[in-house]
Chains A and B, each alone.
Chain A
Amino acid sequence: MPLYVVGSLTERIPDSGKQSIAQAITKVHCKTTGAPPGFVHVFFFDQTSQRATFEKLSGNHVASASYQIFGSIRSGRTDELKNTLVMGMRLAVAGILDAKFDDVLMATRDVDAKWVMEGGDLLPEPGEEAAWLEKHAS
């Protein structure tokens, strides 16, 4: 957690760009939230055959656009922080793909920390990140 899935409605994302996109999404998430990069997952479902999978994962929350990002993130983030995440990732991905900003849409959903285990521990509740991060920083 977080898990970001990336889809494409009209064109496949070039394989040569996927690592750059994954790194950009990771960087934005970590810079915005302070989370360590080791837990940031980015999966691509941009092939036509994967369209149904992406739509199921995103719950159709992302409006039709050339490129779509859907993030499952830990609940407790402020609207301001989530907006920073969304804007930052849209900008970064549009830049890498040489696409218009409005051609990259993104939505997120909140997942309760107590529902998720990573690194053998439940995710920390909002405000309890320090000890968890210290343990999982490597």
Chain B
Amino acid sequence: MITCTCFYQDGQIPSNIINQLGEGIENIGVSHKLGDGVDIQWIAIPAGQGWTAGEPSTSSVVTLNTPPIDQTQRIEILHDICNLWMELTDCQINEVLASVIPSA
């Protein structure tokens, strides 16, 4: 099972959207044949604790740990994550930081 850590600013994303994002991440795992399911950890950053450019942050940080994959597939997955976030949360492209990192 691959793992995914998602930081988001508390209160910015409703719980029903969180659920949809989770389903979307799982679908990404399935479509890219990454393994048997995705263990997703959601970390809400309380107000006053998230900062970007020295101002209150509106950014989400999504990190997916995967088995070794080639760079072409990694880029596809990164775009899938960013598009998922923009589609479901209405965030701007600069408000989602996505990483796809090979598991140690």
In Å, the complex CA distance between A52 and B82 comes to 27
Q: Are A44 and B49 within 8 A (Cβ)?
A: yes
Q: Are A3 and B75 within 8 A (Cβ)?
A: no
Contacts A111-B101, A119-B94 known; A40 to B49 CB distance under 8 Å?
no
Q: Are B7 and A43 within 8 A (Cβ)?
A: yes
Chain A residues near B100 (CB, 8 Å)? 115
A residues 69-114 in Cβ contact with B at 8 Å:
111, 114
B interface residues, tally (CB under 8 Å)? 30
Taking A41-B52, A43-B49, A44-B48 as known contacts, 11 extra A-B pairs with beta carbons closer than 8 A to each other, sorted by chain A number, are: A3-B61, A19-B55, A38-B52, A44-B45, A111-B101, A115-B99, A116-B98, A117-B75, A118-B96, A119-B93, A119-B94
- On A, residues with C-beta under 8 Å from B are 1, 3, 15, 18-19, 22-23, 26-27, 37-46, 53, 111, 114-120, 122
